[in-house]
Amino acid sequence: MLKTHLKQISFGVLAAALAVTTAACGNGDKAASGDQKQGAEPKKKVTHLNFWGAIPPETGPQELVDAWNKAHPDIQVTYTRFVNDDSGNTKLEAALLAGNVDVYINYAWETMQKRITSKLLEPLDPFLDKENFNLEENFGKHPYETGGKRYFMPTNGGSNAFIMYNKNMLEAAGIKIPDKWTWDDYMKIAKQLTKGEGNNKIYGSIEATAGNHWASPAQTLLNGDYTYKEGKPESNFDDPAFLKSLQIRYQMENIDQSQVPLIEMKASKMDMSSEFTKGHVAMINNYNSLLRDIRDPEKYPHDFVTAFAPMPTLTPEQNEIWSGGLREWISMSPQASNKEAAYQFLKYYATDGYYPMINSVRIPAWKKANTDDITKYFLGDKRDKLFDLDSFKKYVLNNPMHRNLDRVRTEGAAKILQIMTEESEKALLKEQSVEDAIKNMKKKSDDAIKSSK
């Protein structure tokens, strides 16, 4: 979580801005240089835009920018990558103050809101109204307005709540995953798929080591502000969904021994992609970024088919899965050299220009994106051989239970994540009971929220 360095623009940022201004080699509308011969047709004026984002250029941004530049010779865009950490965001903000950024991506909601307060985003209302461009119709429901104005378009969206599994392994075991299943079903199937001992053991399941990943069943039930009590300045860890979520991981790792233990994964710095492609685990719980590896058989050789299943639910009655959500918001600098050109580029990025970004395992937020094109970019050139495409489209791209996650509250968020990590690990190590871990999370998180005021 980024520090709250945008409460006010610091002297450090201002100094950096002056340095960037001094070092900058220019920006904005520039006519081609050189003397014009008398009677020759004048060269067309070219607008130059500086676009900043945190994604490596070779994984999508450069291809997107190159396609735009080819189609728009009069509006040329240059991509600059910044690192999405405190230092990198300070560098971005200095460049914004210096007038050296026209369009950029925001990666954290709370940071973007602080930038709006600091007047580092230009309202898009005049451009949206002129084109009658409806954000909700194009991207879905979302809190688009801040103070009655609209400042951004979401770019990344879709679901990141699904299960990936070794289709060959499940078929050999005679197991078929239904369209709707519960975490109790998942635990039962993981246990069925677990066999062997020691180095020859095959686990039924593996999941990420992130300190709050154990709580994904609760999050998919309760939505993005799941750790906060609705309408109250306190945490939500007394909701039964949290106890059930930690019990699931504890049961699978310490009792059923059907899931790779968290502590073993962290101690060995385990490569989840390697474990899956070597056939050491049958199912992966909710970690779509691993698709970068699974779609690369040269780096991760394997000959089985990876299929997809819907995320399990905590109860049979649960009919919604909250996940992913609209994020990575593209915006315009108030100092953009040509605001009309900047708007046209940011809209292109967020809509029909976004496809190259899918290479970095991003699903477009744009609702009109072509499903076949998403599949092509997302799963790679060998998709027909390595993946069950029907299940990908059905459960990842078009799951009717999917709802876009909304995150608004941030009080004490970094401390709450630390508390979730520490208390859950103590439980999984059998240093305390699952019940005590949840009680401690509740008390400590309540204190963190109060102290953040």
1 confidence band (pLDDT: 50, 70, 90): very low
The residue range of the domain holding 101 is 11-30+45-158+326-369
Instruction: Note whether 288 and 162 are within 8 A (CB).
Output: yes
In a domain, 378, yes or no: no
Rounded to a whole number of angstroms, the distance between the first and last alpha carbons of the chain is 17
Backbone torsions φ then ψ of 149, nearest 5 degrees: -125, 155
Contact between 436 and 246 (Cβ < 8 Å): no
**Residue 132 CA: distances (Å) to CA of 127, 135, 148, 316:** 8, 9, 17, 42
Nearest to 145, CA basis, from 187, 177, 113, 103: 113
Instruction: Tell me the C-alpha distance between 308 and 198, whole Å.
Output: 28
How many domains, the chain? 2
Determine, yes or no, domain membership for 138: yes
Which of 369, 404, 433 delimits the end of a domain?
369
113 or 287: whose pLDDT is higher?
113
Residues 332, 314 share a domain: no
CB atoms within 10 A of CB 419: 25
Same domain, 110 and 181: no
**433/309 same-domain check:** yes
Task: Give the full edge-to-edge strand order of the sheet including 281-285.
Answer: 203-207, 281-285, 162-166, 306-310
pLDDT tens track for 229-266: 999 999 999 999 999 999 999 999 999 999 999 989 99
Q: Does residue 35 belong to any structural domain of this protein? A: no
CA distance 123 to 333: 9
Residue ending a domain, among 369, 404, 423, is: 369
Residues 147 and 169 in one domain: no
Q: Measured between alpha carbons, how far is residue 43 from residues 32, 33, 338, 427 in Å?
A: 7, 9, 19, 70
Assigned domain for 2 exists: no
List pLDDT tens digits, range 20-67: 444 444 444 443 444 444 555 567 799 999 999 999 999 999 999 999
Statement to judge: residues 275 and 293 lie in one domain: yes
| pLDDT value of position 13 | 47
Residue 6 lies in a domain: no
Look at residue 408 and tell me if it is in a domain: yes
Q: 91 falls in which pLDDT band (50, 70, 90)?
A: very high
Between CA 384 and CA 277 the distance in angstroms is: 17
Confidence check: pLDDT of 206 > 90: yes
Which of the residue ranges 11-15, 135-139, 219-223, 440-444 would you say has the lowest mean pLDDT?
Answer: 11-15
**Same domain assignment for residues 170 and 152:** no
350 and 362 assigned to the same domain: yes
Whether 338 and 28 have beta carbons less than 8 Å apart is answered as yes
pLDDT in tens, 156-184: 998 888 999 999 999 999 999 999 999 99
**Which run of H or E residues covers position 171?**
helix 167-172
Mean pLDDT of the chain: 90
DSSP, residue by residue, 291-352: HHHHT-TTTS---SPEEEEEPPBSSTT---EEES-SEEEEEE-TT-SSHHHHHHHHHHHHTT
Q: Are residues 318 and 447 in the same domain?
A: yes
* Pair 151, 245 in one domain: no
Specify if 105 maps to a domain: yes
Residues in the chain: 453
Of the residues 369, 400, 424, the one at which a domain ends: 369
CB contact at 8 A, 120 and 93: yes
Same domain (yes/no): 343, 269? no
The CA distances from residue 116 to 76, 182, 408, in Å, are 26, 41, 15
- In three-state secondary structure terms, 201 is coil
Shared-domain flag, residues 55 and 104: yes
| The Cα angle at residue 126 between residues 120 and 129, in degrees rounded to 5 | 135
147 lies in the same domain as 184: no
Q: Which residues lie closer than 8 Å to 166 by C-beta, 6 or more apart? A: 276, 279, 281, 282, 283, 304, 305, 306
Evaluate if residue 365 carries a pLDDT over 50.
yes
Instruction: Identify which of 439, 388, 406, 412 has the alpha carbon closest to the alpha carbon of residue 162.
Output: 388
pLDDT range class, residue 405, cuts 50, 70, 90:
confident
- 244 found inside a domain: yes
Angle between helices 61-71 and 339-350 (to 10 degrees): 130
Domain with residue 317: its CATH number is 3.40.190.10
